[in-house]
Chains A and B, each alone.
Chain A
Amino acid sequence: MLESRRSLLKTGGTLSVASLTLLLGANVSGCAQAQPEAQGQDVQLLNAAIALEHEGIAAYTIAAGSGLLQPAVVQIGVTFRGHHMRHRDELIRAVQALGGVPVEARAESDYVTQLNVASLHDQSDVLRLALGLERGAANAYLGLIPSLGVDYHQIAARMAGDEAFHAAILGNALGEPIPAEGLMFGG
């Protein structure tokens, strides 16, 4: 390949597309070698997002069965859990498309411990826990975008939008004031 490139340069004249491709051959393969690293990084980050969604789904499941919530609030939680399941499924598809193995959910008992469920005594406690998780998730997806491959920017932004919606509903239910300043997520 090297001798062919040298002979092209010696003879001069206009380079065809094929010739240009030959000259740039080493650089193209160098770019191709970079792609698996970027894909591997995306798999790691998307798997962390899947883990986040697993925790959110578990939180809403635990909350629904806690006996602490009014029926209407349980229903809202079940709806939000459905949104997180959709996020999880989209992220799993993305990881699989990249050739990765999606991370699995832990046992519910693990989430009970790590979310300190024992400290929840009434509906307000549960709503505050959910609000913290949703607010954190909205910020997490927005903060993740600079690190993700560009193909995943939009899905991360859409998921941040869902989490921000959840946070707004939960904040309103808890009587939190509407923030006076905009740009309340990310940054």
Chain B
Amino acid sequence: MKFALLLAITSLMFATPAMAQQQGNATRGATLYQQRCGACHSMDANRVGPMHRGVYGRRSGAVAGFHYSPALQRLSVTWNDATLDRWLTAPTRMAPGTTMGIVTPNAQDRADIIAYLRSPAAH
């Protein structure tokens, strides 16, 4: 009983925020990126939205030459698993006044898109 309790506590101590999120499939994520994000974004061109090559690990509102909304200029986050997951879940809640309103409600879809953005193919 004491061992089981100790094991549970130890597991909680070493749990990271990433473990709380789904594991992503970057290959499926690449397809989803084209289908769900491709209307406004490209890897290498600023379009309706800013280009996404290298977005993972980058500060928000930082792509040169793109005219960000005041909401994104104020946001001040680093794009990682947690922040991208929050963003794709509800962008207008994360940055009220943003021009990006596309919601990705499915957690696995979000994880796959994030896995693609994290992958070497997107850097």
Q: Which residues of A are in contact with B by a Cβ distance under 8 Å? A: 37, 40-41, 44-45, 47-48, 51-52, 55, 113-116, 132-133, 135-137, 139-140, 143-144, 146-148, 187
> Could you mark each residue 71-101 of chain B with 1 if its beta carbon is under 8 Å from any beta carbon of chain A, else 0?
1000000000000000000111000111111
B69 within 8 A of partner (CB): yes
- Contact, CB under 8 Å: A140 / B102: yes
- Find chain A residues with CB under 8 A from B69 CB: 44
- Contact, CB under 8 Å: A132 / B99: no
- Contact, CB under 8 Å: B39 / A133: yes
B25 within 8 A of partner (CB): no
Q: Which residues of B are in contact with A by a Cβ distance under 8 Å? A: 34-40, 42, 45-48, 69, 71, 90-92, 96-106, 109
Given contacts A51-B48, A55-B47, A114-B46, contact A140 B106 (CB under 8 A): no
Q: How far is the CA of A187 from the CA of B31 in the complex (A)?
A: 14
- Contact, CB under 8 Å: B109 / A48: no
Given contacts A44-B69, A116-B45, A146-B105, contact A139 B98 (CB under 8 A): no
Q: How far is the CA of A139 from the CA of B41 in the complex (A)?
A: 13
Q: How far is the CA of A119 from the CA of B33 in the complex (A)?
A: 20
Nearest CB on A from B73, distance (A): 13
Q: How far is the CA of A140 from the CA of B97 in the complex (A)?
A: 18
Given contacts A41-B92, A113-B45, A147-B92, contact A135 B35 (CB under 8 A): yes
Nearest CB on B from A157, distance (A): 14
Tell me the dominant secondary structure on chain A's binding face: helix
Nearest CB on B from A181, distance (A): 14
- Contact, CB under 8 Å: A55 / B48: yes
21 inter-chain pairs at a CB distance below 8 angstroms, sorted by A residue, are: A41-B96, A41-B97, A41-B101, A44-B101, A45-B92, A48-B48, A48-B100, A114-B45, A115-B47, A133-B38, A135-B35, A136-B37, A137-B39, A140-B40, A143-B102, A143-B104, A144-B101, A147-B91, A147-B92, A147-B101, A187-B109
Residue from B36, B42, B45, B46 in contact with A143 in the complex, judged by beta carbons closer than 8 Å: B36
What 4 pairs between A and B have smallest CB-CB spacing? A136-B39, A147-B101, A143-B102, A140-B39
Given contacts A44-B69, A132-B34, contact A187 B106 (CB under 8 A): yes
Q: How far is the CA of A135 from the CA of B39 in the complex (A)?
A: 8
Residue from B35, B47, B71 in contact with A139 in the complex, judged by beta carbons closer than 8 Å: B35
Residue among A51, A113, A143 facing the most chain B CB atoms (10 A cut-off): A143
Q: How far is the CA of A180 from the CA of B76 in the complex (A)?
A: 43
